[in-house]
Structure 1
């Protein structure tokens, strides 16, 4: 992921989303069965898992602050993370170049892209409003450190 030491938490996560969207576009541009597509899919899923882990460790613990009581946005986001991890596991178990691999990859791209949009519109504004600038900067650095140190292997579910 982009490692600009000046990006705060939400700037870093938004940059990560953009990097993944670009990778998804690159994947869509490669023909089915292309070995480069399979390799890019592996690198992309590794990046996605690292990103999800960083969000679970640094975004989601503060995301409930300032949200209305009974609001399910945070829970929904964490459930979406679990679903994305399950798709990554299925994709990695599928035979490269198979119709199943391509179907799972398309589903992963669709679900991840939708998830990013929900976070950016429903979570990020509230987090920005209720978190001070110094903390946001420190959390940006922590996200980058977590992404560097985390395995790209999807664990069974979100860490909460």
Structure 2
């Protein structure tokens, strides 16, 4: 079911003013799906979806008072997309995660290079050096002993 259909059905359900404890399982699933928005951040849990009381608890504890995401693409969304395309990462956790990833990648490369033959190491290092911009090369020269 498309998100617009989900939204329309869920709005009708909420307008009915029926207590969520009296909703049927498909109604609970519909309301939760609507609150998750068009691009849910978490997958549906088959185990949770199997039991009505689990869905009621999920609705009560997490989704009942949660603001509904919109379908509309806003100017703020466009600005965030442009920032992401430019490489500006707003999320600290993601930024730290990327930093750790790059550090791990550097360590892996540094450990693999000595295992190469002398000729292979020379070829790899020459290729890297040739790809450097002049200012990058100058930075490296200042760091060399």
Taking structure 1 as the reference length, the TM-score comes to: 0.30
Q: Answer 1 or 2: higher relative contact order, Cα 8 Å, separation at least 6.
A: 1
Taking structure 2 as the reference length, the TM-score comes to: 0.32
